[in-house]
Amino acid sequence: MMSKNENRLNFRMTDETATKIERWYQEDNCRSKNEFIEKAVNCYTDMLAAGESTTLPRAVQSAIDSRLKLFEDRIASLLYKQAVEMDMAMSILLQSLNVSEEVLRQERAKSIAAVKRTNGQLRMEQKLRNLESEAWQS
């Protein structure tokens, strides 16, 4: 007997479609042909809905998320290594030079302005030209 949530639908199909259902419903671990047909209809309607939707299907979103996580982990690792190298370089440099905190504040302000001006695209050659220009003007 059917439960009250089920609807009966009679439909006609080609012999080829009937053969496909017969062949695949057990392969898909379905208990009945009705279950197989219902799964097929749900899959097809989900596919149609995904075509109209602005959201990605879960499988695609999951694949993108996992790739982004790998990328994020790689970038985080590289940034950590770069921070260690920068800390080492700053420590060696500051141990070698006698620099006041006032000079450090002035240089930080200059560096922030340079990064903003170049949108983070700093090059050593450009920095050298800027320093030479500042020395010439002083």
pLDDT per residue rounded down to tens, the chain (138 residues): 455 677 888 889 999 999 999 999 989 999 999 999 999 999 888 888 777 666 677 788 889 999 999 999 999 999 999 999 999 999 899 889 988 899 999 989 988 888 888 888 878 888 888 888 888 876
What was the pLDDT predicted at 31?
92
Separation between Cα atoms, residue 53 and residue 75, nearest integer Å? 32
| Residue 32 CA to its chain's centroid (Å) | 41
pTM higher than 0.75: no
- Residue ranges of the domains in the chain? 15-55, 58-98, 100-138
HEC readout, 107-130: HHHHHHHHHHHHCCCCCHHHHHHH
Separation between Cα atoms, residue 21 and residue 76, nearest integer Å? 50
Q: Per the structure block, which two tokens stand in for 21?
A: 């259902």
